[in-house]
A and B are shown apart, each in its own frame.
Chain A
């Protein structure tokens, strides 16, 4: 079953904290991922963890443009819709 945007955001928050090994006080959809101290390697790790949890696959090409949390969540949502 597809998760809501709020659920996806909270999943991102939890996963990012695991990967970066630190607490983030607040993450909103407008947060720029690199400003969380997450580099491209860390971002791929987060994407991988979310892909596994949600059983979706996000093609490499579409990852390229991601800057904010919103960019990523929109992609995930689109893949969820494809089922």
Chain B
């Protein structure tokens, strides 16, 4: 009789040779300047910072650090460009956006490689998810540019003006696309700041935007850390701030913009509940758990980081999950067979490791498969915490790493109560073969996105956003246009 507690019974024997994506075809400059008013411009104070490859700790390039003076220059350029851009017909604006979308598609491989190189995500994801979705967002909103009067019938939508956009490091190009595409389609001009650890694809995007021939000043891309972001938020001539990032920074931005007449949308943290009922397709649910928490090393605001399993199938699901985790390949992000790449930064790795310590100290039962890590770089094994409760910190707080807190439940009402018992409200997943149960839960769960029998699926046509401390405003779909227009 086979031992059920051995997670290695079905251990794979055939190891795949390295299959790294070639990096010969990509072009990365040694130094990147700010993209302001249609030109690559040196920062006024002449400061630069390093961007690091998280999988080996090596420096990739120098990135300009924008001071408040640079931000001011960018905002002025955007303001100057606004009148002409807003006056352009929707059809003409759409042409530029379509052009950007096509250029991304043409250079998709280069973007995918740079995204993995600079951010640490597996090439499988950047190639199959990030880059195609980014192009899709531009295509989708390009289509809306000349149809705004149909999006908002009889309301005469007008652009807001200069929009400040601050994006995170987990989906660098995709988040830039989510922010830029609807803003441009509706006739706004933009100052965008990528995260300091992942500036490269935004700067490559600046090259494409330049190539598209879009009027100068319509898109300005300034790089830097929190201070640069603060300069955008606090600039007096910005009409709207769109931010995706941590709830902590989101709260700061909301305070800073209070009483300023600046419009605001926030897409913040999450602690998504992934709920497995006994009548689910268990094997596919296990796959869904893996996608929910280990996708992009768990650096996903809508990650399913709290797992709820109905007690009657809990042992089975956990056993299958552990076995599945044994087959995950952690390593070089550029290898086509890698399932889990590098943690984005040393700082984030420390945060995750700290939470793992907290989890152990709180008495959670930890499980990690055996992983061979490369000697350099930031790595974290996929991690489960079993026997935890709503009172554990690792259940309450967003870890933003490959760490899953597992709880069990008995009844539907119980799991709804627990799933909603969080300051966040971004995502949730429900696994059951019973359709009516899915509809019942989608009504009761306070989350902006609820997936039925799947997880972490995105589409340009579908709105995305949160409740409670996960933020407000929607991105994607028709809903994504609204935060960028006003009605007079």
Do A and B belong to a common assembly?
no
Chain A residues engaging chain B, CB cutoff 8 angstroms? none
